Amino acid sequence: MSNHVYKQIELTGSSTTGIEDAIENAVSRAAQTVRNMRWFEVVDTRGHIEDGRVAHWQVTIKVGFTLE
Amino acid sequence: MSNHVYKQIELTGSSTTGIEDAIENAVSRAAQTVRNMRWFEVVDTRGHIEDGRVAHWQVTIKVGFTLE
Amino acid sequence: MSNHVYKQIELTGSSTTGIEDAIENAVSRAAQTVRNMRWFEVVDTRGHIEDGRVAHWQVTIKVGFTLE
Amino acid sequence: MSNHVYKQIELTGSSTTGIEDAIENAVSRAAQTVRNMRWFEVVDTRGHIEDGRVAHWQVTIKVGFTLE
Amino acid sequence: MSNHVYKQIELTGSSTTGIEDAIENAVSRAAQTVRNMRWFEVVDTRGHIEDGRVAHWQVTIKVGFTLE
Amino acid sequence: MSNHVYKQIELTGSSTTGIEDAIENAVSRAAQTVRNMRWFEVVDTRGHIEDGRVAHWQVTIKVGFTLE
Amino acid sequence: MSNHVYKQIELTGSSTTGIEDAIENAVSRAAQTVRNMRWFEVVDTRGHIEDGRVAHWQVTIKVGFTLE
Amino acid sequence: MSNHVYKQIELTGSSTTGIEDAIENAVSRAAQTVRNMRWFEVVDTRGHIEDGRVAHWQVTIKVGFTLE
Amino acid sequence: MSNHVYKQIELTGSSTTGIEDAIENAVSRAAQTVRNMRWFEVVDTRGHIEDGRVAHWQVTIKVGFTLE
Amino acid sequence: MSNHVYKQIELTGSSTTGIEDAIENAVSRAAQTVRNMRWFEVVDTRGHIEDGRVAHWQVTIKVGFTLE
Amino acid sequence: MSNHVYKQIELTGSSTTGIEDAIENAVSRAAQTVRNMRWFEVVDTRGHIEDGRVAHWQVTIKVGFTLE
Amino acid sequence: MSNHVYKQIELTGSSTTGIEDAIENAVSRAAQTVRNMRWFEVVDTRGHIEDGRVAHWQVTIKVGFTLE
Residue C23 phi/psi, 5-degree rounding, is -65, -45
pLDDT tens for D27-42 read 999 999 999 999 999 9
Interface confidence, given as ipTM, is 0.96
CA geometry: angle at L39 spanning L38 and L41, to 5°? 160
- The length of chain E is 68
| Contact residues on chain J for A65, CB-CB shorter than 8 A | none
Q: Are H12 and H58 in contact (CB under 8 A)?
A: yes
Task: Report pLDDT for F25.
Answer: 97
Q: Which of F2, F8, F9 sits opposite A55 (nearest CB)?
A: F2
The alpha carbon of residue F46 is apart from the nearest alpha carbon of chain H, in Å, by 4
pTM: 0.96
Q: Tell if the CB–CB gap between G54 and E23 is shorter than 8 Å.
A: yes
The rounded distance, in Å, linking the Cα atoms of F29 and G66 is 55
**Mind telling me how many Å the CA of I11 is from chain L's nearest CA?**
4
Closest in I28, I30, I40 to E47, CB measured:
I40
On the question of pLDDT at B3 being above 90, the answer is no
What percentage of chain C exceeds 70 in pLDDT? 97
Instruction: Tell me how crowded residue I18 is: count the other CB atoms within 10 A of its CB.
Output: 21
Looking at the partner chain, which of G20, G39, G42 has a beta carbon nearest the beta carbon of I49? G39
C vs G, Cβ pairs < 8 A, gives 36
DSSP C5-57: EEEEEEEEEEESS-HHHHHHHHHHHHTTT---EEEEEEEEEEEEEETTEEEEE
Q: Best interface-test mutation with E: which of I23, I34, I62 has the largest number of E CBs within 10 A?
A: I23
Touching H: which chains, 3+ CB pairs < 8 A? D, F, I, L
DSSP secondary structure code for residue J57 in this structure:
E
Chain segment J17-57, per-residue pLDDT in tens:
999 999 999 999 999 999 999 999 999 999 999 999 999 99
Looking at CA atoms only, how far is residue J66 from chain A in angstroms? 18
Residue H18 has φ and ψ, to the nearest 5°, of: 175, -175
CB contact under 8 A, J27 and L53: yes
The residue of E44, E45, E60 whose CB has the most chain I CBs within 10 angstroms, and thus the best one to mutate to test that interface, is: E45
The residue of chain L with its CA nearest to that of J29 is: L52
Which residues of chain K lie closer than 8 angstroms to L40, CB-CB? 46-47, 49, 54
Contact L46, J41 (CB under 8 A): yes
Given a cut of 90, whether residue H28 has pLDDT beyond it is: yes
pLDDT band at F3 (very low <50, low <70, confident <90, very high): confident
**d(C-alpha F58, C-alpha F56), whole Å:** 7
Distance to chain L for I42, nearest Cα, Å: 14
Residues of chain G with confidence (pLDDT) below 70: 1-2
Cβ atoms of K38 and L13 within 8 Å: the answer is no
Collect all residues of chain I within an 8 Å Cβ-Cβ radius of residue E52.
27-28, 30-31, 37
Contact F40, D56 (CB under 8 A): no
Residue of B nearest to D48 (CA): B2
Chains K and F touch (3+ CB pairs under 8 A): no
Give chain D's contact residues with E (Cβ, < 8 Å): 1-9, 62, 64, 67
Per-residue confidence (pLDDT) for residue J35, from 0 to 100: 93
Residue-by-residue pLDDT tens, chain A, 68 positions: 457 999 999 999 999 999 999 999 999 999 999 999 999 999 999 999 999 999 999 999 999 999 98
Cα gap I46→I12, rounded to integer Å? 10
Among chain C residues, the shortest Cα distance to B48 is held by C39
Interface of H with L (CB under 8 A): 1-9, 62, 64, 67
Question: What is the average pLDDT score of chain C?
Answer: 95
